[in-house]
């Protein structure tokens, strides 16, 4: 008989899959899903040190994909854990273990919901798919980002996607992430003419140019956000300039700027406006840009509607829609499948010592996922 969601989670947590290692976790999921789906096709999209498992049915109708990751962040100092990190321990109504929340618990709940859906609705007209990577917590170069490049090339169809990342705050389903802000960073260097401060006509101080530009950039309004996303915000986390003495100006000064931007603007637009401001302050600057994630937003997708209804039926409340928090692999998938949300267990202890969730969360999550699939494909 197939494992329960708790048993499957236990098996996964026992794999010491500290990013980007998989340590056998994907084999466990593959075995489980091979026996649960209808004539599934299994693909191992592995590159370098990263394993990616894509297992899917090949049927007429839409393709619904669950997206997850089998890697976890390191446990940190094991002596500080109340219970062994690579094991699931129940204590005081909670389940402890590295990855129970982020996100082996939801990997298991997604797999179990798919299996249950297929046994209850063997003829439902949908292809169920499951995609997991072993590098979400690390650099992710060969993870979902690369898989999506591959999917784009071969025009892999995915119509609907649910990412099981821990989105909830106090109770399972109280928060759905229906988008994420984008993130872009610029490293800006101003050049001047170094020299003695007593001879202002012979020097050009790049620190002054930098301060002027920093002021204009912090005053700029990038957009006003929208109903789902706050306005774009920028921060200057680092400034470097000066040689440490009070009688000399440096040749160069630099600052690093990061924007968290809404879907009302784009990295290209931010870059254009920033470089105009920089050019108004100096004619000798360089700007190096690093785009780490584009924003995405789903406001009226089918998955979002089905999830809201499933949460209402099972938990009895309406979820909050949020675009807060950092980036996730959802940003890559959203490029080929805009009908996408993130919905998973509570996230209060993720990446911490004694990572834990409520002991009923896995069952509730599995039921929500199952109901969501039924709302979409079995009515
Ligand atoms: Zn995660």
Residue pair 104/26 in contact by the 8 Å Cβ criterion? no
User: Position of tokens 């082996």?
Assistant: 104
Tell me if residue 201 falls in helix, strand or coil: helix
pTM metric for this prediction? 0.84
CA–centroid distance, residue 106 to ligand 1 (Å):
10
Per-residue pLDDT, 294 = 81
**Candidate list 10, 107, 135, 136, residue with the active-site label:** 136
What CATH number is given for 5-180+296-377 in this structure?
A: 3.40.630.10
CA–centroid distance, residue 155 to ligand 1 (Å):
26
Burial (Cβ within 10 Å: 0-12, 13-18, ≥19) of residue 77: exposed
Tell me if residue 344 falls in helix, strand or coil: coil
CATH topology of domain 182-293: Alpha-Beta Plaits (3.30.70)
CA–centroid distance, residue 34 to ligand 1 (Å):
24
State pLDDT tens for residues 275-329: 999 999 999 999 999 987 788 888 889 999 999 999 999 999 999 999 987 778 9
Strand segments, DSSP code E, in 140-284 are 160-163, 175-177, 179-180, 182-191, 195-196, 233-241, 248-249, 252-261
CA–centroid distance, residue 333 to ligand 1 (Å):
15
Tell me the domain boundaries of the chain: 5-180+296-377, 182-293
CA–centroid distance, residue 255 to ligand 1 (Å):
30
Q: Is 276 a catalytic residue?
A: no
Per-residue pLDDT, 2 = 83
Q: Which residues of the chain have pLDDT under 50?
A: none
Q: Is 136 a catalytic residue?
A: yes
Residue pair 86/11 in contact by the 8 Å Cβ criterion? no
Strand segments, DSSP code E, in 181-232 are 182-191, 195-196
Pairing of strands 340-342, 160-163: parallel
Query: Same CATH fold, 182-293 and 5-180+296-377?
Result: no
CA–centroid distance, residue 104 to ligand 1 (Å):
9
Per-residue pLDDT, 295 = 87
Q: Which residues surround ligand 1, an ion (CB under 5 A)?
A: 102-103, 165
Please report, for residues 68, 96, 340, the alpha-carbon distance to residue 356 in angstroms, rounded to integers and kept in the order given. Answer: 18, 4, 26
Write the CB contacts of 35 (distance below 8 Å, at least 6 apart in sequence). 2
CA–centroid distance, residue 55 to ligand 1 (Å):
20
**Candidate list 10, 22, 71, 135, residue with the active-site label:** 71
CA–centroid distance, residue 325 to ligand 1 (Å):
12
Structural tokens at position 157: 């169809």
Per-residue pLDDT, 327 = 72
Per-residue pLDDT, 1 = 63
């Amino acid at each position: 008989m197939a494992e329960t969601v708790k048993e499957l989670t236990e098996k996964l947590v026992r794999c010491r899959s500290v990013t980007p290692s998989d340590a056998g976790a994907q084999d466990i999921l593959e075995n489980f899903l091979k026996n649960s789906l209808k004539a599934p096709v299994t693909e191992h999209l592995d590159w370098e040190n990263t394993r990616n498992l894509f297992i899917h049915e090949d049927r007429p109708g839409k393709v619904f994909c669950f997206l997850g990751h089998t890697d976890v962040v390191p446990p940190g100092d094991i002596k500080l854990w109340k219970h062994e990190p690579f094991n699931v321990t129940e204590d005081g109504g909670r389940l402890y273990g590295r990855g129970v929340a982020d996100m082996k618990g939801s990997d298991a709940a997604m797999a179990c919901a798919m299996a249950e859906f297929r046994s209850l609705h063997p003829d439902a007209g949908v292809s169920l798919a499951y995609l997991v990577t072993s590098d979400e917590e690390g650099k992710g170069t060969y993870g979902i980002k690369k898989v999506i490049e591959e999917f784009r090339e071969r025009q892999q169809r995915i119509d609907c996607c649910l990412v099981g990342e821990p989105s909830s705050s106090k109770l399972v389903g109280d928060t759905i992430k229906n988008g994420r802000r984008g993130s872009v960073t610029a490293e800006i260097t101003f050049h001047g003419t170094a020299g003695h401060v007593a001879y202002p006509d012979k020097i050009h101080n790049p620190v002054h140019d930098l301060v002027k530009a920093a002021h204009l950039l912090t005053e700029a309004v990038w957009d006003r956000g929208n109903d789902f996303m706050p306005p774009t915000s920028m921060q200057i986390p680092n400034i470097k300039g000066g040689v440490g003495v009070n009688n000399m100006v440096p040749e160069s000064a630099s600052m690093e700027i990061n924007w968290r931007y809404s879907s009302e603007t784009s990295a290209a637009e931010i870059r254009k406006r920033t470089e105009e401001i920089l050019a108004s302050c100096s004619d000798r600057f360089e700007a190096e840009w690093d785009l780490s994630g584009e924003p995405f937003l789903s406001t009226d997708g089918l998955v979002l509607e089905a999830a809201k209804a499933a949460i209402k039926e099972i938990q009895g409340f309406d979820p909050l829609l949020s675009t807060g928090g950092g980036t996730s692999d959802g940003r890559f998938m959203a490029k080929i499948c805009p009908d996408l949300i993130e919905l998973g267990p509570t996230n209060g202890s993720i990446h911490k010592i004694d990572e834990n969730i409520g002991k009923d969360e896995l069952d509730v999550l599995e039921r929500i996922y199952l109901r969501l699939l039924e709302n979409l494909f079995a009515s």
